[in-house]
Amino acid sequence: MKPAPFAFLRPAALEEALAALAREPGAKVLAGGQSLVPLLSMRLAAPSMLVDINALPDLGHVSVDAAGVRIGALARHAHVLASAEAAEVQPLLAMALSHVAHPTIRNRGTTVGSLVHADAAAEMPMVLRLLEGSVDVASVRGRRTVPAAELFAGPLESTLAHDEIAVEAFFPALPAGAGVAFAEIARRHGDYALVGVAAMVETEGGEVVRARLGYVSVSDVPVVVDVTDALDDPAGKALADLEPAEDIHATAAYRAHLVKVLTPRVLADAIHHARQKTAQRKKS
Amino acid sequence: MTTKLFGTKVPRVEDQRFLRGQGRYVDDLLTDDPRLLHAAVLRSPHAHARITDIDVADVLDVEGVLAVWTYDDLVDAMAEPLPLLIPHPTLTHGRTQYALAKDEVNYVGEAIAFVVAVDRYVAEDAVARIRVSYDYLQPVVGIAAARAADRLVHDDVPGNVGARMEQENGDARAAIADAPHTLTLELDVERSACTPMEGRGTVARWDPDTSRLTVWSSTQTSTGVRGCVAAKLGLDLAKVDVITPDVGGGFGVKINHPWPEELLVPLAAMTLGRPVKFTEDRREHFISSAHERAQVHHVEVGFDDDGRVLGLNVEFWHDHGAYTPYGLIVPIITSTQLLGPYKPLNYRVVFESLYTNTVIVTPYRGAGRPQGCFVMERTMDAISAYLGKDRTEVRSTNFIQPDEFPYEHGLVFQDGRPLTYDSGDYPASLAKLKALVGWDEFEDFRAEMAEQGRRVGIGLACYVEGTGVGPYEGAHVHIETSGKVKVATGLTTQGQGHQTAFAQIVADTLGVRFEDVEITTGDTRKMPYAVGTFASRAAVMSGSAIHLASLRAREKALRIAAEALEASEDDLEIADGVVTVRGTDASIDLGTVAVLSNPLRYAFDEASKAATQFSVGDPGKPPVAEDDEPGLEGKDFYSPERSTFANGMHAVIVETDPDTAEITILKYAVVHDCGHLINPMIVEGQIHGGVAQGVGGALYERMAYDESGQLLNASFMDFLMPYVTEVPKTIDIDHLETPSPLNPLGIKGAGEAGVIPSAAVFAAAIEDAEGFPITAMPISPSELFALRLEHADVPAEAIAEETR
């Protein structure tokens, strides 16, 4: 469990990091390392170079404004989770982050790193997709913004080019009249979910006008399902778009069952949350 | 008078070191030595294959690689198979692997080549460059495939059967045929493993100047490793020292020896003239150490209207993996210990121990007892359900009674001795357990929960554990002239708190201060005669030996002190390291007694002047009497006639989520009887750890092999060892102390107790919550969900009916 040899670069400027990635096709970006380092140690990945971005300036921010939450590439999960402002503007962030692994991993792992790792069993890619957020990426060719809907290409595969670095993620604020909820079932506390579900609903005058659900661990890529027209059987609608699979921890049938159990609960919680938020707004 | 420490909660002296990160494990050794080399092993990626060629040509080109070994490089005893440690007459087809695979590999993880390099990174780079050509063979995975024997693991082992063993007391089949009621059960337990935090590890240093080999190994038997290393490398025993430093857990896996690396590391150190280290990584531990637990059982039981077992006939199939280095210990223990606290009037057991193309099996904490307990307790529950009786009532009916000890089962135990229980009071234990868990109030609780839409169940399980198996352990007690007491015992320590518990015994027996006692374990330089730490035997065996050796040292101290104080030995007492003439001021401290015990020619300090030739002794006699030795020491060995049998009973209340099928522990209660307690805090710690490990075994852990013999979950990400969040926050413990008559301290072993009833007790509680039989463990929410679907059409009340 020792990595194969690799070159190591720890640039002090983003341009330097981007230049290194551009000239070294076998290079990988190292941020929190919570996924990459185990892959290296088990020799499941053998990049020719690691470009460690931990010394880059100005990437550790969690900035919050009325539009939403902007999370820099070096902001750790724990940092985002601890931000009361972020939780206020977009409550789903904290709801989901508390399910991301364990405190020690959250202390090191980065939220943006988790997004571009593009694991459909991870919470944050699905959350970005459900909230219709985006990721800003940089390369020697310049910068671009990738909407969440265009970020995930396949299992553990993002649409980022090899030489691009995700520098910031944007999670939009919770709109007025909207509510969110999250629940997941895992074998042990902090494990990858067997099934995770998040909901975001928008209400007008207490009535649901838009309802969308996001799922963890029941598909190859983060899946979001619009159930606005299927509020009486949201799980049925969702399952048509999901691909629950069997692994050593659960059968496909059990995962499908958990989708059926969790979906109405989470949807109801989100509706409740929306009404609560609306009531709070009216008060203040 | 010194306060008695035996039986009190003395804080563990070792914890200061461990909790501050000051433990010294094998991997910590020689790290500052620039000459230290590191080893890595090429392991088979295939479960079953013939090796047609091994090409190491590319390896020596790697900068930093010093040597590579394959089977062809091994000579003499090293070229022979590894020892079969515990032969048995019924193990007719025992097989062991070679230190490095010869011609064939039989499990994923089997060692093929051994590379030594300047560091582990380079060694692994080199391993990746070895090219092996294989002819693939179909693997045998799982008990069903082994029994079907469509394919063989070893060509010369027909039916994949390594051993078939049968024992019978009475005529079980006839008794069952004549019984008023009968039941048949099929019971299944899956593979799991010890998974200690620290894996295996060995460091060796060869000193060419003295032709002496020092081996440090993370083992449960340093004397065993020493014997193997000397024999395999052709060294005189006197030239080999084996030292066991701090060990980060064993739980059984480290009793097996020698591991290939335990021989290859010393071989490399001798060949290269530089110290060599091997530290197993986590994946290696999963695929190349040992597993346990996998057994399939077929039970036939005949009983009367009270639930009294008239005949019990158990057949089971044990998956021992690819080789049998540790013999038949695990299935023998299952076959004898499944009887628990009960006395079936007639009992027959037969097992087959089967080869599969998977990792070898050696004892894992509990060592066959968890399976046996599962079988017996599931049977008791099935009888109770059939008769509509309370589960505790049927158990009571079958208990061996307190006045029946010693109780002979008419069987032979794992140590080759008769299975004879020495003491216990099972009715008293059960009464304590019922009170502790609230057995009689449970139906009220169930109703209360049901009103809230919650589903709960209660289960209990009883076990008896043969502990303290022989052949012996020894101890050496040395009172230094400073008054400090140095004690050596040969068995090893892997976290049990021996420094504390053994020092408590010495302090009490000798009359010295606890702080003045230092215990050394697992160092063959200090105590070359020893067996090892397994089978819950350390306290019983070494504890007794230390007590006996302390008595000898005390005897000598009193003799010398009596002379010095001109008093009768009978009038002396020792407390806090001072010998006093009872009721007077006349005293002498043990340090001075130690000085007097060793007649000196040379004074090296103030104290030693008192022992020089012009100071002491009768000029008319030899300074050391004919039947005496210099020094204030005591040495003794404890070798019991047979094992002592501890027992315990566990109960658990679980909640099963009606929607998600998740299983939550609401209450866990333990009544434990290991005779006299040396240190109740340490015993409770053992129980806590055992219960945690048992929760893992019952609800989380399994070895997920696929059909091709690949282990799919060889990491702690997918092998679900419970976190602290998964084990009960509190465990209610009550003790009963029925002393053992077999040793001077009346103690029994406690190390494995916590884990033994887990599968049984959780199955019982889940069954009670769900209303359908639980016959296979471990169980996950996904499996519980599948069972619910399977039983969905059958109303709960009909389940008992179903089993008739």
Is the distance from CB of B701 to CB of B721 less than 8 angstroms? yes
Chain-chain contact of B128 with A42 (C-beta, under 8 angstroms): no
Write out chain B residues lying below 8 Å of A261, CB-based. 659-660
Answer yes or no: are the C-beta atoms of A75 and A35 closer than 8 Å. no
B386-468+642-802 and B473-638 agree in CATH topology: yes
Identify the residue whose tokens are 């995962």: A255
Determine the Cα–Cα distance for residues B607 and B609; give it in Å rounded to an integer.
5
Contact yes or no for B315/B86 (Cβ under 8 A):
no
Any idea which architecture A7-52 has in CATH?
2-Layer Sandwich (3.30)
Q: Which residue among B283, B725, B780 sits closest to A42, beta carbon to beta carbon?
A: B283
Average pLDDT over residues A165-184: 97
Residue B481 tokens read as 């002239």
The domain limits of chain A are 7-52, 62-172, 178-283
pLDDT digits (tens, 9 = 90+) for B573-614: 999 999 999 999 999 999 999 999 988 878 888 777 777 777
Pairing of β B633-638 and β B644-656: unpaired
Task: Indicate if the pLDDT at residue B493 is higher than 80.
Answer: yes
Distance CA A262, CA B464 (A): 44
Interface test with B, best of A104, A192, A249, A260 (most B CBs within 10 A): A249
Question: Hey, is the C-beta of A14 within 8 angstroms of any chain B C-beta?
Answer: no
**CATH fold of the domain at A178-283:** Enolase-like; domain 1 (3.30.390)
Per-residue pLDDT tens for B457-491?
999 999 999 999 989 999 999 999 999 999 999 99
Q: Burial of B620 by CB count in 10 Å (0-12 exposed, 13-18 middle, 19+ buried)?
A: exposed
Instruction: Give the start-to-end residue ranges of the domains of chain B.
Output: 33-137+194-288, 386-468+642-802, 473-638
Spatial separation of the C-alpha atoms in residues B193 and B254, rounded to whole Å = 12
Q: Which residues in A lie closer than 8 A to residue B713 (C-beta atoms)?
A: 248
Q: Is B435 helix (H, G, I), strand (E, B) or coil?
A: helix
Q: Hey, is the C-beta of A44 within 8 angstroms of any chain B C-beta? A: no
pLDDT band at B61 (very low <50, low <70, confident <90, very high): confident
Does residue B300 have a pLDDT over 60?
yes
In angstroms, the separation between the Cα of residue A138 and the nearest Cα of chain B is 33
Beta bridge partners of B243: B216, B523
Q: Report the amino acid identity of residue B290.
A: A
The pLDDT > 70 percentage for chain B reads 98
Amino acid A9: pLDDT: 98
Read off the pLDDT of residues B500-513 as tens digits, 9 standing for 90 and up.
999 999 999 999 99
Indicate left, alpha or beta for B295 from its phi (over 0: left) and psi (-120 to 50: alpha).
Answer: beta
Cα A156 from Cα A122, distance rounded (Å)? 10
- Out of B120, B125, B780, name the one closest to residue A249 (CB): B780
Whether residue B304 has pLDDT greater than 80: yes
Place of tokens 């069997």: A246
Nearest one of B762, B657, B666, B656 to B437, comparing CA atoms:
B666
Q: How many CB atoms lie within 10 A of CB B58?
A: 13
* Cβ-contact B294, B189 below 8 angstroms: yes
Q: Can you give B205-247 as a three-state secondary structure string?
A: EEECCCCEEEEEECCCCHHHHHHHHHHHHCCCHHHEEEECCEC
Cβ separation of B700 and A188 shorter than 8 Å? yes
For the four alpha carbons of B520, B525, B531 and B532, in that order, the dihedral sign comes to: positive
Helix (H, G, I), strand (E, B) or coil at B735: strand
The encoded tokens of residue A188 equal: 């042990």
CA gap B108, B134 in Å, rounded: 13
Over pLDDT 90: what percentage of chain B?
A: 92
Instruction: Tell me how far apart the alpha carbons of residues B634 and B611 are, in angstroms, rounded to a whole number.
Output: 20
What phi and psi, each to the nearest 5 degrees, are found at residue B159?
70, 5
Q: Which fold has domain A62-172?
A: 3.30.465
DSSP secondary structure letters along B562-627:
HHHHTS-GGGEEEETTEEEETTSS-EEEHHHHHHHTS-BSS--SHHHHTTBTTTSS-TTS-SS-TT
Q: pLDDT-derived band of residue B624, with 50, 70 and 90 as boundaries?
A: confident
Domain B473-638 adopts which CATH fold?
A: Aldehyde Oxidoreductase; domain 4 (3.30.365)
Are A45 and A89 a contacting pair, CB within 8 Å? no
CB contact under 8 A, B281 and A250: no
Helix (H) or strand (E) holding B333: helix B329-337
Chain A with chain B: Cβ pairs closer than 8 A: 66
Q: How far apart are CA B267 and CA B33, in angstroms?
A: 19
Whether chain A has a CB inside 8 Å of the CB on B121: the answer is yes
Q: What is the pLDDT of residues B736-793, one digit of tens each?
A: 999 999 999 999 999 898 999 999 999 999 999 999 999 999 999 999 999 999 998 6
pLDDT tens track for B344-370: 999 999 999 999 999 999 999 999 999
For the cut 60, the answer to whether the pLDDT of residue B80 exceeds it is yes
Phi, psi of B230 (to 5 degrees): -60, -45
**What is the predicted pLDDT for the residue at B428?**
97
Rounded Cα distance between B307 and B397, Å, is 7
State the burial class of residue A141 (Cβ atoms within 10 Å of its Cβ: 0-12, 13-18, 19+). Answer: exposed
**DSSP letter for each residue of B473-491:** EEEEEEE-TTS-EEEEESS
Contact A31, B149 (CB under 8 A): no
Mapped to the 3 state alphabet, what secondary structure does chain A carry? CCCCCCEEECCCCHHHHHHHHHHCCCEEEECCCCCHHHHHHCCCCCCCEEEECCCCCCCCCEEEECCEEEEECCCEHHHHHHCHHHHHHCHHHHHHHCCCCCHHHHHHCEHHHHHHHCCCCCHHHHHHHHHCCEEEEEECCEEEEEEHHHCEEECCEECCCCCCEEEEEEEECCCCCEEEEEEEEECCCCCCEEEEEEEEEEEECCEEEEEEEEEECCCCCCEEEECHHHCCCHHHHHHHHCCCCCCCCCCHHHHHHHHHHHHHHHHHHHHHHHHHHHHHHHHC
- CB contact (8 A) between residue A254 and residue B661: yes
Decide if B781 and A43 are in contact by the 8 Å CB cutoff.
no
d(CA B719, CA B749): 29
What gap in Å lies between CA B491 and CA B468, rounded to an integer? 12
Chain A residue closest in CA terms to B125: A4
For residue B603, the model assigns a pLDDT of: 80
Higher pLDDT pick, B507 / A206 = B507
The pLDDT assigned to B794 comes to 53
Residue pLDDT, tens place only, B520-544 = 999 999 999 999 999 899 999 999 9
DSSP state of B305: T
Query: Cβ distance B682 to B496 under 8 Å?
Result: yes
Radius of gyration over alpha carbons of chain B, in Å?
Answer: 28
Q: How confident is the model over B178-186, as a mean pLDDT? A: 98
Is B725's Cβ below 8 Å from some Cβ in A? Answer: yes
Confidence of residue B256 (pLDDT cuts 50, 70, 90): very high
Interface probe, candidates B782, B788, B790, chain A, greatest A C-beta count within 10 A: B782
**What does DSSP assign to residue B522?**
S
Using the beta-carbon criterion (under 8 Å), do A188 and B723 form an inter-chain contact?
yes
Q: Is the ipTM of this complex over 0.85?
A: yes
What gap in Å lies between CA A50 and CA B377, rounded to an integer?
A: 56
For residues B440 and B460, the answer to whether their CB atoms sit within 8 Å is no
Mean per-residue pLDDT, B167-171: 96
For residue A226, the cross-strand partners are A212
Chain A 235-274, residues with CB within 8 Å of chain B CB atoms: 248-251, 253-254, 257-258, 261
pLDDT of residue B793: 62
% pLDDT > 90, chain A: 97
pLDDT at B155: 96
Q: Among partner residues B124, B660, B789, which is closest to A2 by beta-carbon distance? A: B124
**pLDDT reported for residue A143:** 97
Alpha carbon distance B292, B360 (integer Å): 8
Check whether the bond before A38 is cis (ω within 30° of 0): no
Query: What CATH number has the domain spanning B33-137+194-288?
Result: 3.90.1170.50
Question: What digits encode the pLDDT tens for the residues A135-174?
Answer: 999 999 999 999 999 999 999 999 999 999 999 999 999 9
Task: Check if the beta carbon of residue B81 is closer than 8 Å to that of residue B143.
Answer: no
DSSP tag of B361? B
Are residues B785 and A254, on separate chains, in Cβ contact within 8 Å?
yes
Q: What pLDDT is attached to residue B610?
A: 74
B chain contacts of residue A184, beta-carbon cutoff 8 Å? none
* CB within 8 Å: A187 and B720: yes
Distance (Å, rounded) from C-alpha B113 to C-alpha B98? Answer: 11
Chain A residues with CB inside 8 Å of B282's CB?
1
Pairing of strands B663-673, A142-147: unpaired
Nearest to B125 among A4, A187, A253 (CB): A4
CATH code given to domain B386-468+642-802: 3.30.365.10
How far apart are the C-alpha atoms of A115 and A134, rounded to whole Å?
10
| Inter-CA distances, B407 with B402, B411, B747, Å | 10, 11, 18
Q: Are A33 and A11 in contact (CB under 8 A)?
A: no
